[in-house]
Amino acid sequence: MLGTTGIQSQGVATAGTNPGGGGKPRGAGGGTVDYELTPWVPTTTEPFDQARAGHLMRRAGFGASPEQLEQIVKIGPHRTIDLLVIPSTWGLQEYGTQMLPSGEIIDLFRSVAGQRAQWIHEMATTHFPLKEKMAVFWHDHFSVGSNGQTTIPMLLPHINIFRRHGLGKFRDMLVEVTRDPAMLHWLDNRINGRGGKINENYGREILELYTMGVNGGYTQMDVEETSKCFAGWSLYNYNRFRYNTSYATAGYGWKLVMGRYIWNPNQQREGYTLIDHVLFQKSTAEYLVSKIWSYFVTERPAAVGAPQKLWDDIIVELAKRWMSVKYDIRALMWVILSSNYFFQKAPRQLVKNPAEAMVGAIRNLGTPRIQRYGILGTRMEGMGLALLRYGNPSGLDDGSAWIDSQTLITRSNFYDELTQFSKTRDFRVSWNPFTELARKSVTKAKDIVDHMLSILVDGAVPSSVRQRLYDFMDYYDGSPNPLKLPYDSLTPFDQRRDRKVRGLAQLIMILPEYQVN
């Protein structure tokens, strides 16, 4: 099993114990780094139930349908994580046109909307949800968007780098991003060295944003010397990587970067040496791990004290282990997703980003047929995440930054469109709310409320909210309106009940509890 090799603390992690012996045993209350990073083991009092399976699938992907969660509970947490971290190098189609299963034809060469449609469809239907989640994470980390130079045809090849390497070795991904035409245009390294002038844009960002962080321990001189190492990393015919020796002369000679002299007769090798030197810095591993942990587990506690110190200690320990396995992302994610901390302390703490909010809702409802995926990218942008259209290389803030009055309205409108039936609605979804209810033989109004709450928010709502939903289901136009199943043929009277169940789903989705993972 992946999680019991390499990146685990000393030797094989044994269920219920602490590898290395430095922490408390299971059941002693935790609080030590070794305990928190030890694989979680279900017990009779803490079983791997549908709620914990839902937590795992929301964080390691975009959620799952009730049927899928039932199967995951049978498989168990560790085998499920083994399946989640399977690397799949299959990429999105990069050029031409494509027909989605609904019959929708999308343009992948000239249309960002078409490119978004293909990717969102893949997120919603994939059997490799962690692969897609990691691609979204790395897309934000490297945050390239279309502009005057980085053209639309460059974007999907850029995203496919993260689909190939998002669960591989970080070094491989960083090298590909550095050579990628989209990045070479985005941060101007294609002209680095032209006319004997060094362009520092990429040299600065590879240290500040992509590896070491703002306070990672480098200086302005290190930025200048790093930029010289990448002089000549340019393009041929606008969209193919080429090492331009005439540009490279601008960076000729010895470079001193963070205490190491770099020079190679084959000057292109200096860029690779620089990347290896940056990855040797522990600040790089700690910065990257802190971003991954904050995205998948929990943000750093604001209160000074033991929780904050534990968070910091976990980052330092994970970074040390990750460096020992040469930045293997797959191994890191196995440890994170299987850990005691992830299952015991992390649930319902992170605000859903727009991809999680949109794709998660689609998957929660069993991935209903959507006829126009092409409009969903616009909906997601209205929620704050402009896939393939980032405005700057800094990425976007997570957490409560996703929520404001406008984005909440956009989320609510999307959930309304997703749950209601109308041939005139923009993206035309065909969701039958009674398929799941009939599968579980749920027919009574209160039981319908309880079941919908369990599959959408793990049942975690205040009793007063649950009662309000009971009231909503029990009464229609001021009089009792009991529900019946099956709904094979809806009469006008039954159609009112159909709208009521759809309205129930939408009401639950706009609750604050649904906006968090």
Q: Encode pLDDT of 109-139 as tens digits.
A: 899 999 999 999 999 999 999 999 999 999 9
Enumerate residues 6+ apart whose C-beta is below 8 A from 463. none
pLDDT value at residue 3: 46
pLDDT value at position 480? 58
Instruction: Kindly tell me if the per-residue pLDDT of 275 is higher than 70.
Output: yes
Q: What is the pLDDT of residue 149?
A: 81
In the prediction, which pLDDT does 427 show? 73
Q: Is the pLDDT of residue 54 over 90?
A: yes
Most confident of 322-336, 411-425, 462-476: 322-336
Contact 144, 390 (CB under 8 A): yes
Identify the residue whose tokens are 């727009």: 354
Burial of 448 (0-12, 13-18, 19+ CB in 10 A): buried
pTM of the model: 0.92
Token pair listed for 395? 């990425």
Predicted pLDDT of residue 477: 52
Query: Region 501-509: what's the mean pLDDT?
Result: 94
| Cα–Cα dist 192/230, whole Å | 7
**What one-character DSSP code corresponds to residue 257?**
E
Q: Rounded mean pLDDT of 220-235?
A: 97
Contact 136, 119 (CB under 8 A): no
Alpha-carbon span 501 to 276, nearest angstrom: 57
Residues 200-225, mean pLDDT to the nearest whole number = 96
Torsion sign, CA atoms 288, 289, 295, 298: negative
pLDDT in tens, 1-20: 444 445 665 333 333 333 33
pLDDT at position 8: 62
Burial of residue 183 (CB within 10 Å: 0-12, 13-18, 19+) is buried
- Say if CB 61 and CB 84 are below 8 A apart: yes
What are the CA-CA distances from residue 337 to residues 33, 57, 311, 406 (Å)? 15, 10, 16, 33
The pLDDT value given to residue 488: 45
Local confidence band at 412 (pLDDT 50, 70, 90 cut-offs): very high
The pLDDT confidence band at residue 30, using thresholds 50, 70 and 90, is: low
Which DSSP letter does residue 199 get?
Answer: -
Strand partners, 260: 257
Give the pLDDT confidence of 318-337 residue by residue, as tens digits: 999 999 999 999 999 999 99
pLDDT at 2: 44
Q: What is the DSSP letter of 460?
A: -
Percent of the chain beyond pLDDT 70? 89
What mean pLDDT is predicted for residues 473-490?
A: 56
Q: Indicate the pLDDT class of residue 141, thresholds 50, 70 and 90.
A: very high
Query: What percent of the chain shows pLDDT beyond 90?
Result: 76
CA dihedral sign of residues 272, 274, 280, 284: negative
Side chain identity at residue 285, one-letter code: A
The pLDDT of 69-77, averaged and rounded, is 97
Q: What are φ and ψ of residue 480, in 5° steps? A: -60, 140
- Beta strands per DSSP E along 281-327: none
- Name the DSSP class of 50: H
Averaged pLDDT of the chain? 89
Q: Per-residue DSSP letters for 93-162?
A: --SSEEE-TTS-EEESSS-HHHHHHHHHHHHHH-S-HHHHHHHHHHHHHH--B--SSS-GGGHHHHHHHH
**Residue type at 387 in one-letter notation:** L
CA distance 498 to 487: 9
Report the pLDDT value the prediction gives residue 424, as an integer from 0 to 100: 59
Mean pLDDT of 74-79: 97
pLDDT exceeds 50 at position 24: no
Predicted local distance difference test score (pLDDT) of residue 354: 97
Looking from the CA of 36 toward its CB, the CA atoms found within 13 Å total 18
Cα–Cα distance, 257 to 275 (Å, whole number): 11
Q: b/e per residue, 143-173, with b = 16+ CB within 10 A? A: bbbbeebbbbbbbbbbbbbbbbbbbbbbbeb
Domain boundaries, the chain: 354-515
Q: What is the mean pLDDT of the segment spanning 340-363? A: 95
Alpha carbon distance 503, 507 (integer Å): 6
